[in-house]
Amino acid sequence: MLKLVLDPGHGGIDAGAVGNGIKEKDLNLELCRRIAGKLEGYDVEVTLTRTADADVDVYRRCELANSLKADYFCSVHANSGGGTGFESYVYTHAGEITESLRGVVHEKVAAYFKSAGFPDRGKKRANFVVLRETGMPAVLLENLFLDSPRDAVRLKDSSFLDGLAAAVAGGLVAALGIPVKEQAPPPLPWDPAAEIARLKADGLINSDHRPEDPVMWGELATVLNRIISFRRP
């Protein structure tokens, strides 16, 4: 099964970017939880580098992904510093596979932001620890700017976040070719009391019994003989 690591950037004492009433660490975790939720119907093992508001060192995040032998690492962030829109990063010296996987994820997510009127700031490269120290293809997403009131208002909107999570999950599914989980057939409904009632209605037994009552040999033999006599012409 494919293994995916989702990395909610920052946490604990490291709030990340802060703006318009949003702390980046909280937004990143919320978004990663929603992305994991969108992937529940898929055959993929999803691990988050943190599941609470905790300060997890960036090197430890990479070690976690490396020890899991993850197939892909997706770090989730939001931007600040005077701008608007979406951009993604791969490592400065990323290879062809990393670049092509990023291309698929980027296009899906950028299309979602574009439909909401936000610009695609492009596919970028940087020497970020989580991109450099991970032993598998890795991408880092910068989802809008917390210091832009127009961006922040959408990031506070639960349905917008849900759509964003679906776009990221869709990008990951497409990039990695994650298959849909095979559904086990639903168990047959079994109602022991109804089975006993049916035997009585069919005349194989004469009285009511509780499902948990033991059967005596005399009763069993009677029922079996009745079945045999029904089958005789």
Active site residues: 142
- Give the largest Cα separation in the chain, rounded: 91
Residue 25 binds to Zn ion (criterion: CB under 5 A): no
DSSP 69: T
For residue 11, the minimal CB distance to Zn ion (Å) is 10
Residue 77 binds to Zn ion (criterion: CB under 5 A): yes
For residue 29, the minimal CB distance to Zn ion (Å) is 12
Interface stretch with Zn ion, choices 6-14, 152-160, 195-203, 204-212 (CB under 5 A):
6-14
* Beta carbon nearer to Zn ion, 102 or 196: 102
For residue 140, the minimal CB distance to Zn ion (Å) is 8
Interface stretch with Zn ion, choices 16-24, 115-123, 161-169, 187-195 (CB under 5 A):
16-24
Residue nearest to Zn ion (CB): 77
* Beta carbon nearer to Zn ion, 9 or 11: 9
Q: If binding means CB under 5 A, how many residues of this protein chain bind Zn ion? A: 3
Please tell me the distance from the alpha carbon of residue 128 to that of residue 61, in angstroms, as a whole number: 13
Residues 6+ apart with CB under 8 A from 78: 16, 17, 22, 24, 27, 28, 142, 143, 144, 145, 146, 155
From its phi and psi, is residue 187 left (phi > 0), alpha (psi between -120 and 50) or beta? Answer: beta
- The DSSP result for 121-151, as a single string, is EEEEEE--HHHHS-SS-EEEEEEEETTSHHH
Residue 9 binds to Zn ion (criterion: CB under 5 A): yes
DSSP 81: S
Instruction: Characterize the bridge pairing of strands 44-48 and 2-8.
Output: parallel
DSSP 114: H
For residue 16, the minimal CB distance to Zn ion (Å) is 4
Residue 19 binds to Zn ion (criterion: CB under 5 A): no
For residue 81, the minimal CB distance to Zn ion (Å) is 11
Interface stretch with Zn ion, choices 4-12, 121-129, 132-140, 207-215 (CB under 5 A):
4-12
Residue 137 binds to Zn ion (criterion: CB under 5 A): no
* Beta carbon nearer to Zn ion, 77 or 154: 77
Among 8, 11, 16, 170, binds Zn ion (CB under 5 A): 16
Tokens of 90: 């791969």
Please tell me the distance from the alpha carbon of residue 100 to that of residue 150, in angstroms, as a whole number: 31
Q: Which residues bind Zn ion (CB under 5 A)?
A: 9, 16, 77
